[in-house]
Amino acid sequence: MEFEYSEFVKHALEFDRTHIWHPYASVKNSPPVEFAVSAKGTQIKLADGREFTDAVSSWWCVAHGHDHPAIVDAIKKQAEKMTHVMFAGFTHEPAIELAEALTAFLPKGLNKIFFADSGSIAVEVAAKMAVQYQHAKGFSKKCKLVALKGAYHGDTAGAMALSDPDGMHVLFRGIMPQHYFAEKPKIPFNGIWDEADFHSMEQVVDEHSDEIAAVICEPVFQGGNAMWLYHADYLKAIRKLCTERGILMIADEIASGFYRTGTRFACEHAGVVPDIICVGKALTGGSITLAATIASESVAEVISNGKPGAFMHGPTYMANPLACAAGVASLQLFKESDYALKVARIESELKKGLFPCKDFPNVTDVRVLGAIGVVEVMQMPAPEDLRKIIRETGVWLRPFGNYIYTMPPLITPTNTIQKICNAISQFAKCKPGKEVDDGGFHE
């Protein structure tokens, strides 16, 4: 039986290698992949019996741990009733329950909910809302957004267009809409605020005020292009500028929301409320894809009172009942337990475990906020060193660019955080590779 199973896995992996594209990988000379068979809590079990600790929450979404019983049970119960129905002309209990729970969970004033398929789509929906809002107010030329260099908002064309113009999407400039970019915030989260850091944003808005519909940002935490933690007062400056100029503030909280930075939403570090917020990833506890774009009462009213009145977007799987049921269960878990306290403990352990990496010759910076830990290196060690450390420590890491990072599930126990920090430290100690090459480990 063991032999037959091993032969099956061997065949399956060979088929995968020759026929299936993986994220940011080639179908020729593709990097090796592991065969996952199950996952519980912080652990991912492989076909050969090994287990890996998921140090990146399977791309930052598995907040409550893998396969939390409450979420799995909610999906099973909903599957027995109805797996899907179109949201045009219909509604259903899971969507209404999730909307009610979200309204109570979100910052006050954000209560008009549009369900989307994924984070990238939620960003595109937010951009369309901003443009349609300005059009309804009679400003049809205001169809551009201002974003930040260093930003990452997703991999669909509209979301790529709002991400770092010199980042990972350079190849696709020809198919992207053109927007405007301010310089990446330079003052770190724990630094001393200087208004000069905001001058680039002010200048861009001043120069293109007749075209600007909104400013979009990842609050406090720039993820997939920069892994940067910037000063919360930058958000205060955005909020003030947008209010004064009659443009909207869009907060992309897909990665930073649901306590990832320590507060319920990263905007809370600055005490500001955006006009539109995008959420996803941890919305369903990482169980099934779902995102949402939520607008304020005033934004929704302007759009609805303008022409054509209807908001012009409608995904096929909008408000999928299975995903909504998972979202309801996930939000109930956030409600039942003190996640701010859980994340504070993780932050403390990450600081203790990662700050010593500052003394390593190849390390340029270490930054920690909430359940986010980043070790920035001058040059990434060789991919084979990473694979060796993963095998030896049993910790699943996925560095990219010049960043070795962890964003563990928010329920990760202290001893497991220490294990993760040890693995990152080992990798950060390795000699740099011959050139910066993530070996297929890019996000």
The DSSP string of 6-60 is HHHHHHHHHHHHHH---TT--SSSPPP---EEEEEBTEEEETTS-EEEETTHHHH
Q: Are residues 306 and 376 in the same domain?
A: no
**Mean pLDDT, residues 135-139:** 97
**Rounded Cα–Cα distance for residues 153 and 133 (Å):** 21
Give strand pairing partners of 372. 369
Give strand pairing partners of 113. 294
Cα separation values, 411 from 41, 68, 263, 288, 339, Å: 8, 11, 15, 19, 8
Percent of the chain with pLDDT over 90: 94
Does residue 117 fall inside a structural domain? yes
Q: Are residues 332 and 347 in the same domain?
A: no
Q: Are residues 85 and 115 in the same domain?
A: yes
**Rounded Cα–Cα distance for residues 210 and 300 (Å):** 22
Structure tokens at 221: 């935490």
Q: Are residues 29 and 130 in the same domain?
A: no
Cα angle 166, 168, 174 (rounded to 5 degrees) comes to 70
Percent of the chain with pLDDT over 70: 97
For residue 443, pLDDT over 50 is answered with no
Query: Catalytic residue among 54, 112, 128, 152, which?
Result: 152
- How high is the pLDDT of residue 177? 92
Structure tokens at 46: 């492989």
Cβ-count burial of 313 within 10 angstroms (0-12 exposed, 13-18 middle, 19+ buried)?
Answer: middle
- How high is the pLDDT of residue 433? 85
**Rounded Cα–Cα distance for residues 199 and 151 (Å):** 18
The pTM (predicted TM-score) of the whole model is 0.96
Contact 66, 309 (CB under 8 A): no
Query: Catalytic residue among 252, 275, 385, 438, which?
Result: 252
Helices 233-245 and 199-207: crossing angle in degrees, nearest 10, is 20
Cα angle 18, 19, 25 (rounded to 5 degrees) comes to 80
Q: Annotate 129-145 with three-state secondary structure.
A: HHHHHHHHCCCCCCCEE
| Lowest mean pLDDT across 9-23, 81-95, 253-267 | 9-23
Query: Catalytic residue among 24, 67, 180, 429, which?
Result: 24
**Rounded Cα–Cα distance for residues 411 and 346 (Å):** 9
**Rounded Cα–Cα distance for residues 387 and 419 (Å):** 16
Q: Are residues 147 and 225 in the same domain?
A: yes
Q: Give 330-359 pLDDT, tens digit per residue.
A: 999 999 999 999 999 999 999 999 999 999
Dmax (CA) for the chain in angstroms is: 70
Contact 54, 41 (CB under 8 A): no
For residue 404, pLDDT over 50 is answered with yes
**Rounded Cα–Cα distance for residues 56 and 255 (Å):** 12
- How high is the pLDDT of residue 223? 96
**Rounded Cα–Cα distance for residues 405 and 402 (Å):** 10
- How high is the pLDDT of residue 440? 39
Coil, strand or helix at 294: strand
Does residue 42 fall inside a structural domain? no
Does residue 45 fall inside a structural domain? no
List, edge to edge, every strand of the sheet that includes 180-182.
Answer: 110-116, 291-296, 276-279, 248-252, 212-217, 144-148, 180-182
The total of structural domains in the chain comes to 3
For residue 15, pLDDT over 50 is answered with yes
Sign of the dihedral defined by the CA atoms of residues 351, 357, 358, 363, in that order = negative
Does residue 54 fall inside a structural domain? no
Q: Is 152 a catalytic residue?
A: yes
Structure tokens at 415: 């001893």
Segment holding 113, helix H or strand E:
strand 110-116
> Which residue reads 């303008």 in tokens?
306
Q: Give 405-442 pLDDT, tens digit per residue.
A: 999 999 999 999 999 999 999 999 999 986 544 433 34
Does residue 48 fall inside a structural domain? no
Query: 77: domain range?
Result: 69-336
Does residue 44 fall inside a structural domain? no
- Does 308 sit behind a cis peptide bond, omega within 30 degrees of 0 on the bond before it? yes
Does residue 86 fall inside a structural domain? yes
Q: Are residues 211 and 260 in the same domain?
A: yes
**Mean pLDDT, residues 151-162:** 97
Q: Give 242-269 pLDDT, tens digit per residue.
A: 999 999 999 999 999 999 999 999 999 9
Q: Are residues 296 and 374 in the same domain?
A: no
- How high is the pLDDT of residue 435? 53
For residue 3, pLDDT over 50 is answered with no
Q: Is 281 a catalytic residue?
A: yes
Q: Are residues 375 and 271 in the same domain?
A: no
For residue 75, pLDDT over 80 is answered with yes
Q: Is 24 a catalytic residue?
A: yes
Structure tokens at 343: 């994340």
Q: Is 252 a catalytic residue?
A: yes
Q: Are residues 348 and 321 in the same domain?
A: no
Helical segments of 264-410, H only: 297-305, 321-336, 339-354, 383-393
Determine the residue type at 4.
E
- How high is the pLDDT of residue 5? 54
| Lowest mean pLDDT across 27-36, 92-101, 353-362 | 27-36
Q: What is the CATH number of the domain that holds 230?
A: 3.40.640.10
Does residue 360 fall inside a structural domain? yes
Structure tokens at 424: 């990152």
> Which residue reads 């350079």 in tokens?
170
> Which residue reads 């941890």 in tokens?
282
Q: Give 182-232 pLDDT, tens digit per residue.
A: 999 999 999 999 999 999 999 999 999 999 999 999 999 999 999 999 999
Segment holding 215, helix H or strand E:
strand 212-217
Q: Which residues contact 4 (CB under 8 A, 6 or more apart)?
A: none
Query: Catalytic residue among 281, 342, 419, 438, which?
Result: 281
**Rounded Cα–Cα distance for residues 296 and 318 (Å):** 20
Q: Are residues 239 and 309 in the same domain?
A: yes
